[in-house]
Amino acid sequence: MGFDYYAILDIPRSASAIEIRLAYRKWAVRCHPKNDFHDPPEIPLPSISISHYWELLHEAFDVLSDPLRKRIYDVYGEEGLKSGVVTPTGFVKPYVFSNNCMKIYKDFFATYSPYGDLIDALTNPPPLCQNDASLVRSKAPDIEQYIDLELPEIYHGAIKKMKITREEFIDEAQVRTKIVEETLTVSIPAGTPTGTKIRFEGAGNCSPKTFPSDIVFEVRERTHERYRREGADLQVEVPISLKDAIVGFPLELIGVDGRRLAIQIVDVVRPGYVKSLKGEGLPVADGDEPLKRGDLHLTFSTSFPDFIPKNLRDKFRVLFDELYQETNNIQ
């Protein structure tokens, strides 16, 4: 002969669904096997050990919290429940307790904190009938943090040590937490686009109510004093004189990677003129070719003299007349 499930929970047979859950909540917290039983709690069945009662408590709650199992138990008793019965809707298979007490405990407290005030249980009661969806824990919100990178770090790739704070369980029952500070190593591949999110799954906050959150680092790019990024390409504006725009000039740039780039401008620098250097941009992240890089695009801002003396204007006029005549002859 088995035990009376109602007696195990110390409730009357007329107990409501809320009263059943409150009773389980009360005894589950008091009799959790991880508790330090220097002063063992009084339990509804004093003739058995606390460890045995812990198992019976979960079996009783597993039956009485399920409307169909409870109805079969109320009508046919433990024998009918564990032997199977025929109902108007068909045969109900015999009930077999899974004996997975900790899973039942975690499923319950995932939506109902074991250390909350019992009054809260009455003012904010759990659903009367739990379905499978109500036992599914949601995931805690992500912990989000920015990683600000200099352009050379994006060019070469970087490894960053990032400090984060999160809530961590401090007991094996996984119901109590504390705030801890940790350092995570974040590897950032060369050419990583701005806005890329690097995710550490399940490394965030722990809570008995939710699955552990993720930690997400979002890459941001600091403004460079000279270069501007557009995808894997780089843009740079070069100030030049009117003379340089007309006759050409040598140009030396220090690249993002620190190399000196010697460039000879031989074209006439017209408005809108762009000089492009293939492969002198940033690495292409996740590209099919591991060494593929974007391009470096040079634009130019031409400065004009504020004043030209008359004698020089006359010389310029003659030179330009000759220039246009020569150009027309070539065409």
Q: Single out the residue of 276, 164, 159, 261 nearest to residue 216, CA to CA.
A: 164
What mean pLDDT, rounded, does the chain reach? 84
Does residue 167 contact residue 179 with C-beta atoms inside 8 Å? yes
Query: Can you tell me the mean pLDDT for 282-299?
Result: 82
Percent of the chain with pLDDT over 70: 85
Does residue 274 contact residue 237 with C-beta atoms inside 8 Å? no
Classify the phi-psi angles of 279: left when phi > 0, otherwise alpha if psi is within -120 to 50, otherwise beta.
left
Assess whether pLDDT exceeds 70 at residue 132: no
Lowest mean pLDDT segment, chosen from 12-26, 102-116, 220-234: 102-116
- 78-129 pLDDT, tens digit per residue, is 988 998 887 656 678 899 998 889 888 888 876 434 444 443 444 444 444 4
Is 143-221 CATH 2.60.260.20?
A: yes
User: Does the fold of domain 228-326 match that of domain 143-221?
Assistant: yes
First to last CA, the chain: 112
Query: Can you tell me the mean pLDDT for 5-16?
Result: 93
Residue bearing the bigger pLDDT, 140 or 112: 140
Assess whether pLDDT exceeds 50 at residue 216: yes
CA dist 83 → 72, 73, 79, 91, 96 (Å): 11, 11, 6, 11, 9
Helices (H) and strands (E) in the chain, counts: 9, 13
- 180-202 pLDDT, tens digit per residue, is 999 999 999 999 999 999 999 88
Q: The tokens of 109 are what?
A: 């407290």
Measure the CA–CA gap between 237 and 301, rounded to whole angstroms.
Answer: 7
Q: Which CATH number does 228-326 carry? A: 2.60.260.20
Assess whether pLDDT exceeds 70 at residue 288: no
Q: The tokens of 44 are what?
A: 């509804």
Classify domain 5-135 at the CATH class level: mainly alpha
Does residue 186 contact residue 194 with C-beta atoms inside 8 Å? no
Query: Can you tell me the mean pLDDT for 169-183?
Result: 79
Q: Single out the residue of 139, 142, 138, 140 nearest to residue 217, CA to CA.
A: 142
Residue bearing the bigger pLDDT, 289 or 131: 289
User: What are the sequence ranges of the domains in the chain?
Assistant: 5-135, 143-221, 228-326
- Can you give the pTM of this predicted structure? 0.55
State how far Cα 13 lies from the chain centre. 47
- Say which residues have a Cβ less than 8 Å from residue 216's Cβ, sequence separation at least 6: 142, 143, 144, 145, 197, 198, 199, 200
